[in-house]
Structure 1
Amino acid sequence: MEEEIAVVGIGCNFPGGEGLDSFWKVLVEGRNCVTDIPEERFDTRCWFDPDGTKPGHTQTTRAALVDGFNEFDHRFFGLSEAEADCMDPQQKLLLQCSFRALEDSGTPMETASGSRTGVYIGYRCRRNPINL
């Protein structure tokens, strides 16, 4: 017996916007979402060095950044402030994005628990290859 699967909601967060409409707009316009790294994210004056062999330094002053990176309502997700402070920022973004997917589908979080509902994640991390 085959079971049917339906994609009924999508949540996404990426450099250049939030949500599927923003995602498509960036793609259609062919926008490059790389910007100068703001001081509140990372002080490039202290850490930048064009010499790629210098330990503890970076060779870039630009990045593709996600808006609202430090905006996380730990109480909304039932987390203590101490727990939220120890979380990896990617975990926080994942929780927010999962909630948006449920919200987009019209599925209240309260009814998702114990149901046959799944949130599937796609993530791409681009890293420079290491030359050994």
Structure 2
Amino acid sequence: MERQEISFQLQQNEVILVPGIDLAKVLNIPIIYFGFDKSNIRKDAQVELEKVLTALNQYPKLKLEIRAHTDSRGNDAYNKALLQRRATSTLNYLVEEGIVSSRLKAQGFGETKLVNSCSNGVDCSEAEHQKNRRSEFIILD
């Protein structure tokens, strides 16, 4: 088999960062998901958080609000505590990687902003519930 050498250069795209939009959507980063009843950063989420970290390093004045969400399972008080742990876990990961904490804000929404119809009492699959256990990265001014 003949060996072939291919050389190419990637062109970096400039993006406009507008306050109020989700950085993950701008950079086409999949949603950062959490396991059921968990607040630790999963390996798949760590890969995606590295992309957020790269953007924060590239734009040193960029500030983000980390919005954490839970699914509808569990009572409201428990979910509120869980989502705060998730937001803090995400924030701490970025701070441990060198981002100054004053550039980050953590906000928990619990089950108040579900992305589907899986609210209290609705029978949903694990995959449907998973879609609600997420973090978003909203650009601040």
The TM-score normalised by the length of structure 2 is 0.27
Q: Which has the larger radius of gyration?
A: 1
Greater RCO, 1 or 2 (C-alpha within 8 Å, sep 6+): 2
- Which structure shows the higher strand fraction? 2
